[in-house]
Structure 1
Amino acid sequence: MSRVRAGDERIAKQHEYIGELDRSLIDLIQQRTEAAAELASLSRDLGAPGVDLSRENAVLRLYHSALGRSGTSLALLLLGLGRAGERAAAKDPPAGPAHG
């Protein structure tokens, strides 16, 4: 096997691995978004604000300490998705028997 072909195969395997990681990340982000919406709903049901700014600041610090400035940007995106998920959950009609 030529060196170029072996390199091409390694590159293809690395692309495949990164694709698997991307799919895993997307799944985790969707789970996080759903969990954040549920948490906000539970908080509101108990009379607390739907958003805990001190917790959000802790998330920002966590991501910044692990990933630097890009981590802060990522955390802001995740927090925004959570809020969007919260808004979407609030718009969904309650589950129950269908009436036609």
Structure 2
Amino acid sequence: MTATTPTTPTSTEKTGARTEAAADVITGARERIDALDDRIIGLVQERMAISAVIQDARIASGGRRVNLSREMEILTHYSEALGKPGTSLAMTLLELCRGRI
């Protein structure tokens, strides 16, 4: 039995690219996407916190936890900006920010 040493995948193996130049482009773009994802997560967390403040104020004033007309505005906004997938994204954001209704 011979011992094998683990090998580190090359940049072309990691990216699926066929050239080092393409692998470099992909690696750089992926780093930018990762940074954007971190910012998006932070923004969603901020949105969740602001939503909690709104819900607390609404409930404290005797209102309902959810304002359906406002949610429809949000759904329309996302749908107009991003098409059908935008509606799904908005629904996910609304669920994160107010929970299931």
Q: Provide TM-score, normalisation by structure 2.
A: 0.77
Give a deviation string over 1:18-37, Cα, whole Å, max 9, x none: 00011111111111111111
Q: Which residue of 2 aligns with 1:41?
A: 56
1:1-100 paired onto structure 2 within 5 Å:
4-84=19-99
SS of 1:23's equivalent in the other structure is helix
- Percentage of pairs with the same residue: 39
Give a deviation string over 1:36-88, Cα, whole Å, max 9, x none: 1110001111112121110000000000000011000000000000113xxxx
Q: Which runs of 5+ in 2 are unaligned?
A: 1-17
Per-residue deviation, 1:4: 2.2
Q: Provide TM-score, normalisation by structure 1.
A: 0.77
* Misfit runs of 4+, over 6 Å: none
Q: Give the number of aligned pairs.
A: 82
Root mean square deviation, CA, Å: 1.3
Flag the structure with larger Rg: 2
Q: Which runs of 5+ in 1 are unaligned?
A: 85-100
